[in-house]
Structure formats: structure tokens, C-alpha cells
Amino acid sequence: MLKTFRKGGIHPPEHKLTAGLPIINVPVPEELFILTSQCLGKPSTPVVKAGDRVARGEMIAEAGGFVGAPIHSPVNGIVKKIEKIRNPQGLWQDAVIITPDEQNHLEFNKSPRTNEEIDSLTPSELISIIAGAGIVGLGGATFPTHVKLRVPEGKKAEYLLINGAECEPFLTCDDALMRVNATEIILGASILQKAIGAPKVIIGIEENKPEAIESISFAIKDKTCFSVVRLKKKYPQGSEKQLIQALTGRVVPAGMLPIDIGCVVDNVATAFSVYNAVYNQLPLVERIITVTGFNLDRPGNFRVLNGTPLSSLLEFAGGIPENTGKIIAGGPMMGRAVSNLASGATKGLSGLVVLPLKDSLRKKTERCIRCSACINACPMGLEPYLFMQLAENNYWDDMKSHGVMNCIECGCCSYSCPSSRPLIDMIRLGKNELRKNR
């Protein structure tokens, strides 16, 4: 029987145009624009300067704090300069700009660890390696993985949950990774399991990925504490709290964390990056990104170096079609519109979705008709219509008292609203105001 979460959720058209396509390496660009803010935490601090020679995998920016992650050079090359550039959403951020060597730009001078070396590593040592590799959650949140793995005193991890749901429309990067690198994902998950001491590992994959389910199931055939669970197609199945409920039946209470109910959740791409860091000593310098759209000539799942200009990535996919109205970084439900294609790809970028003009225009906002569609769709059991009314009148404290900070910003409310009201926009506005006041 297919499992899912119990409350709310929607079923948007999948549009998995790149499902089944292979993973293709994107050529190394002439320059890499590596932003120093790439995780849900403090920005990293550059430790290199203009003119420095850097090696592939060498740290170029150290973590800005405990909730932070270092950044490493994806190539052998020269630091051209460090300056502020606009990120994909047009905001100014510091960036390290690297010019790759003409030859041997991807040569890596560290040897893989032996199985004996890996087996001898303690949980604390594994977490230190993961922290040093700059690994963050690659499902979209970009929370530093090492922080999540440090189980607080008095808490116990009973389950490690590996997220292979990939419920966002259009995106297939996780699906492609599971089909091709299932063994490496499971090795990475085994490392995560050892790091937190969890007795059980569950991999959740939505039913629309049969090849991925088969590949992962084969990779765990000799692991009695691992299991694969087929999930019903439902958005936002990949959200942490919804995935926990679908796989374990447990509910994360408001204001609490997954570890409070014995769970740690990591994405399949995060597990693969952990494998690379521990086995191959390669930090997080590249990832799989889906570039897709109805009118793209060569959509696909691409292995992309951190800092690759988005313009180069789109050019590799065939160029931007003439009728393009909007390009979204991430999936269409939770992604953000791109305003600067000269900016570089980041650790958290899972996809670029190119929408034609007719699909990118907002519909006219109408009056609320009190239909309760937004309430029925909300997977957190909130009242989105009320949040919008409160935000329109600047009643920020009332938004807080009604639980707006529990909103996961999945966009189910806006998608479901027959009056095309910008519910999620107003909710984000309210949450930002509350954070500023705090």
C-alpha cells in the first residue's frame, strides 16, 4: 500500500519532461562565480585573495559560524578577484571568481580512502569530515548537514529517513541520481546512519520513479536495517515533516524538530555528497541540476560545477526560447524567479525551469470567496486566507499567534485558490516582518 501524509496536499501536473534522461557533464566555463552565501546560515568568509592559485577541492571560504558551511574550489585555477555580484534573484552578495586552468582543471590530487580507513572512522570523525566538506541539504533547504547530525544530549535518533520523493513538478535530478548512483547513495546513507547511531534507515520514493525504486531496492538487498517505501504521488511529500509522517506515522509538533521525535532526514543527493566526501575526499563542489521547459531544445539532468554561470547552463540546454516569460531557480512550487543569469549555480540549486510567457503571467486577483480551498490544501493545517487578511492590515503579532511561523511555504494555498490571491507572498511578507522585529 502506498504511503503518504494525512493532512492537505495537492496533485499538480508532474511535467517530468527529463525523466529517464542520462546525467551529462556540463563543460567547465571560462569563469566560475562562486557565491559565499550558499547555506541556511551565516555566509562563508573568503580565505583566498586575488592572484592565489587554488586546487580542486581546496577551501576558498571558511564557515561563518557553527550553522554554516565552508566552500571549496571546483577546479584547479587562479582566483581572479573577490567582489560583490548579484545573485540569481538580483541581490548583492560576495563572490569568489575563479579562472580555471586551461588544462587539468578537474584533476584531483587526493586518493580515495580504503574501506579499512572508513570502517575505522568514529561517528565524531565522520561528522567532522562532513562539516569540512561543506555539505548542506541538497533537497532545497541547504541546512548544514553536520549540524543536523550532532544529536543533542538526551535525544536519540531512531530513524534515518532518506528523501527520494522529489515531488516538485518538472524536477528529475534526484530521480536521475538514484537510477545511476544507487550504490553510492546507500554507502552515503550508511555513513549518515553510523554518524547518528540510528538503528533503522528508510528511503522514501514516490511511485512515479519505478527505475529509481528498483535501483535503490537492489542496492540495499544485503542490508537488513534498510528499507524502501513507495510513496503516493502527492505534493509536498518531500517536505521534512510530511515525509516523516508518511514513513513513520509520527508527527513533529509545532515548534519542535525531527530529532525531538527520533528522526533525522536527509536528501538522496546529500547522501551521495557524503559518500564523495568520505570515500573520495571530494568536498561538495558539484551537483546534478535539472534544466527543463516545454520549448527547450536540449533539456536534461546535468552535472554542474558550483559557480557555473546560469547563462552557460541554459546555453548548454539549447538556449533560451524566444517566447520565454520567466526562468525559475528550483521547482515551480517553491522556486524563485531568476533575474540575473550571469550569477553562478549554487549548492542548493536543484533546477532551472524555463516557462513560456503564457504560463508565467499572474492571473488577476479576485476577492476571497470563502471557499476554504486554501485550508483544505494546507499540509500544516493552517488558515492561509486569514494570514493574508492580517498581512494586508499589518497585524504581524496576530499572524504569529495564529501560527504563521509553522508555514513551510510550499505554495499549496496559492495553487488551490480559485481567486488567484497571492497567499504565499503575503505569508512570506508577514514572516519576514516578524523576523525583523525579533
Give the pLDDT mean for 296-304: 97
Which one-letter amino acid corresponds to residue 286? E
Query: Looking at residue 140, what is its pLDDT?
Result: 84
3-state secondary structure of 89: coil
Q: Is the pLDDT of residue 57 over 90?
A: yes
What distance in Å separates the CA atoms of residue 328 and residue 436, rounded to the nearest whole number? Answer: 27
pLDDT in tens, 74-84: 999 999 999 99
Report percent pLDDT > 90 for the chain.
97
Predicted confidence (pLDDT) per residue in 124-174, tens digit? 999 999 999 999 999 988 999 999 999 999 999 999 999 999 999 999 999
In 46-121, alpha helices (H): 115-120
- What is the spatial distance between Cα 431 and Cα 110, in angstroms, rounded to a whole number? 45
Residue-wise over 357-388: b if at least 16 C-beta within 10 A, else e?
eeebeeeeeeebeeeebbbebbbbebbbbbbb
Instruction: Answer yes or no: are the C-beta atoms of 235 and 167 closer than 8 Å.
Output: yes
Model confidence pLDDT, tens digit, residues 260-270 = 999 999 999 99
Mean pLDDT of 401-423: 97
pLDDT in the model for residue 14: 96
pLDDT at 438 over 80: no
Report, as an integer, the average pLDDT of 54-70: 96
Measured distance CA(322)–CA(360) in Å, rounded? 14
Tell whether the model's pLDDT for residue 330 goes beyond 90. Answer: yes
Residue 186 burial (CB count, 10 A):
27
* Angstrom distance (rounded) from CA 79 to CA 369: 57
The distance of Cα 406 from the centroid of its chain, to the nearest Å, equals 19
Query: Is the pTM here over 0.75, yes or no?
Result: yes
Residues 6+ apart with CB under 8 A from 103: none
Per-residue CA distances from 263 to 9, 39, 150, 156, 228 (Å): 22, 22, 12, 8, 16
Asked whether 46 and 61 are in contact (CB, 8 A), the reply is yes
Crossing angle, helix 182-196 and helix 123-132, to 10 degrees?
120
Tally the residues of the chain. 438
Higher pLDDT, residue 273 or 436: 273
The per-residue pLDDT for 227 is: 98
**pLDDT for 348:** 96
Average of per-residue pLDDT across 314-343: 96
Q: For residue 394, is pLDDT > 80?
A: yes
**Over residues 34-45, mean pLDDT:** 95
CA dist., res. 354 & res. 13, Å (int): 16
Q: Which of 99, 92, 93 is closest to 52 using CA atoms?
A: 99
Q: Which residue has the cell 496536499?
A: 9
Mean pLDDT taken over the chain: 97
Determine the pLDDT at residue 103: 87
pLDDT, position 141: 87
Residues 205, 271 contacting (CB under 8 angstroms): no
